Structure 1
Amino acid sequence: MLYSEKELNKRLQSGCSLYYFYASDEALVRSAANKALQELNRADPETTVLDGPTPTVEEIVLAAGTISFFGGKRLVLMPLIRPSTYSDKDLQELCDTLADTENAIFVMTSLIEEKFGKLRPGKREQKLIAACEKIGYCVQINKPGRGELQSLARNWAQEVGATFEQGAESELLDRCGEDQFLLQNEIAKLAALANYGTITKRMVQQLGTVTLEADTFEMVELVVTGRATQAQQRLKTLLQLQNDPILITGALIGNYIDLYRVWQGKHSRRGLADVAKDFGYGGKWSYRLGKTEKTAARFKRHQLEQCLCILQKLDLDLKSSKLDADLLLQKALCELALAGRASC
């Protein structure tokens, strides 16, 4: 079952005894669990928190079986449990305890590995999910798309008493990426800067944190459009901020791989949706690959292959050479600029 806030509210009103949220992103499950807890805590139940990925069955049984001092149900929180670390026997006992307990309400979360844009729960994870679906509200939470993230950003700004200038939330996503914890922290910082008024694009550009992926993509665009001096200045800033040269190179490689995939897709008559599905870009594909497609159109295939060879050599040199890492990166940027202007 997929997460629905409407269905969550319905289960909360009906007195459901178990809430299990799982996703690939911790921010997603934490947000959903907090919404449930906000409502459950209105009844002021006694609460037991069992931290750690693998609370013992004995701890769970003890917490669930302890009668509340006030005679109501006890609230048992199990954040980020990891079913795969339980033995088959202990996992079965856990499922039995969740099903048999009458004196507790469970709120549980788990992180599930994502492959090619989809959650891939393992055998034990599937068993716990199946058991919880029979007992209470057990849901998968998918990553929001760009439009949903923009809506969330506006809501988070309103919660702290601020608003976004038109387009400013989009600018923030461009710079921060899709990490919801980072976005919420940035919004809190920008709201304070705006004196809890309107957050403008200029404020985002001046103060907003930029992810390495976003910064290196801008470097690629500068190189491709012949603005090599500005690209070198961007690189200098990244190095001054003590970004690891190997991580910068890795982000550059990722951007050029995106360009190559999109180029190949276009010339194989496969659309961006096909490329996204083939390579597991998930919900962020539409915007990310849309920008990449415009840049990829400037290249011939052999140019992109040459750029990837330059970056592969840079990666090897950084990991083995005694030469100055900053100089190696600067040299590689020049070579990328030349490769992008190479004749057919």
Structure 2
Amino acid sequence: MEQPLRHGVYYYYSTEEYLVRSYAAKTLALLAKQEDDAEVTRVEGPAPSIEEAVAAAGTISFFGTKRIVELPMLEPSAMNEADVGALCDLMQSLENAVLVMSTVFKDDKAKLSKKAKQLIGAAEKAGLTAELVKPGPQDAKRFAVEKARELGAVLSPGAASELVERCGTDLFALESELSKLAAVADYGEITPELIAQMGTQSIEADVFEMVRLVTARNKTRAMAKLSQLLELQNEPIAIAAALSGSFVDMYRVKCGAAAHRNYAAVHKDFSYRGSDYRLRKSGETASHYSRAQLEHILSVLLGLDAALKSSAADGTVLLQTALCEVMQIGERR
């Protein structure tokens, strides 16, 4: 971020809340320092009181510094047209104040609304706007490395990838997990082994790792992973559900590709929540299977689900049998 900060308006918006909050906080800290620790007036969103914002921006500081007015978590859709217009007018008429505004849009379509475009356009004319792009896997890995460094720890080779596999590209989750792991590692080296042992137990991540072993035709390690999941007291039904979910994701991405829809479009079409990283990885794994193979595997897993819920047979044996069938289907390439 260029310093000193000279703009009258800073408006950050994204579909990623962590980035919006982070950039707004950094800007406020720099402004406060630059303006000799000037006070910040916070006017809460999602539909802030424009009268309060105007009053705060128009107040003359006794110390001759600029007034800093924060309008966090604005939601253009929650504001009426008159307030949107008044806020745009305020941005153009600032004399002794700086506005720091932020918006988290629920999706990319929301930022194209009339009121959103009006606010973004006014902010561009009056100062600086920044659309913060949703992080991808590589961005998340770089974030993990930097955050570990800030905590006084270091990620060993492969640790960042392991973290992203478990947490996805959710920066809040990554930050929380890193804070815990850094403390466990006594602010030293965080290894993939430590993450596997002490990290958040994500049955979906562990099952997907098992699926990758199946895809790589590594039967011994795949069965060992299943045994490990069971030893961790995961219910067979829960493991089967996660296994089915992984192959359903692959099937959806495979069908999407046939219809010229990429994994991001599939993520939207099926109303997935959170990051599309999961579907991206599913797409990579699905490339090793034909559509017919995936349909056959899903049929086996449907039978497994029914058996686990209705049969008196041992759940572990049913899971092991189904996993062997899945591996056999995958070998017919």
TM-score interval for Structure 1 and Structure 2 normalised by the shorter chain: 0.7 to 0.9
Q: Which residue of 2 aligns with 1:338?
A: 325
Number of corresponding residues: 317
Instruction: Give me the identity figure in percent.
Output: 37
Partners in 2 of 1:126 and 1:312 — Cα distance? Answer: 47
Partners in 1 of 2:129 and 2:111 — Cα distance? Answer: 16
Q: Among residues 270, 273, 291, which one is paired with 1:301 in the alignment?
A: 291
Tell me if 1:123 matches 2:114: yes
Partners in 1 of 2:113 and 2:30 — Cα distance? Answer: 31
Report deviation, 1:107.
0.8
Q: Which residue of 2 aligns with 1:191?
A: 182
Partners in 2 of 1:221 and 1:20 — Cα distance? Answer: 42
> SS of the counterpart of 1:195?
coil
CA contact (8 A) 1:24 1:119 kept: no
Q: Which residue of 2 aligns with 1:231?
A: 226
CA contact (8 A) 2:249 2:279 kept: no
Partners in 2 of 1:328 and 1:106 — Cα distance? Answer: 60
> SS of the counterpart of 2:140?
helix
Report deviation, 1:32.
1.2
TM-score normalised according to structure 1 size: 0.75
Report deviation, 1:151.
2.0
TM-score normalised according to structure 2 size: 0.78
Tell me if 1:156 matches 2:156: no
Partners in 1 of 2:100 and 2:203 — Cα distance? Answer: 35
CA contact (8 A) 2:9 2:100 kept: yes
Tell me if 1:218 matches 2:213: no
> SS of the counterpart of 2:85?
helix
Report deviation, 1:260.
2.2
Tell me if 1:275 matches 2:266: no
Q: Among residues 146, 150, 163, which one is paired with 1:172 in the alignment?
A: 163
- Aligned CA-pair RMSD: 3.9
What are structure 1's unaligned runs of at least 5 residues? 1-7
CA contact (8 A) 1:113 1:121 kept: no
Paired residue type of 2:53? I
Tell me if 1:259 matches 2:246: no
Q: Which residue of 1 aligns with 2:53?
A: 60
CA contact (8 A) 2:12 2:20 kept: yes
Report deviation, 1:291.
4.5
Q: Which one has more relative contact order, counting CA pairs under 8 Å at least 6 apart?
A: 1
Paired residue type of 2:262? V
Partners in 1 of 2:146 and 2:195 — Cα distance? Answer: 17
Tell me if 1:205 matches 2:196: yes
CA contact (8 A) 1:46 1:68 kept: no
Report deviation, 1:157.
1.4
Q: Which residue of 2 aligns with 1:132?
A: 123
Report deviation, 1:323.
6.6
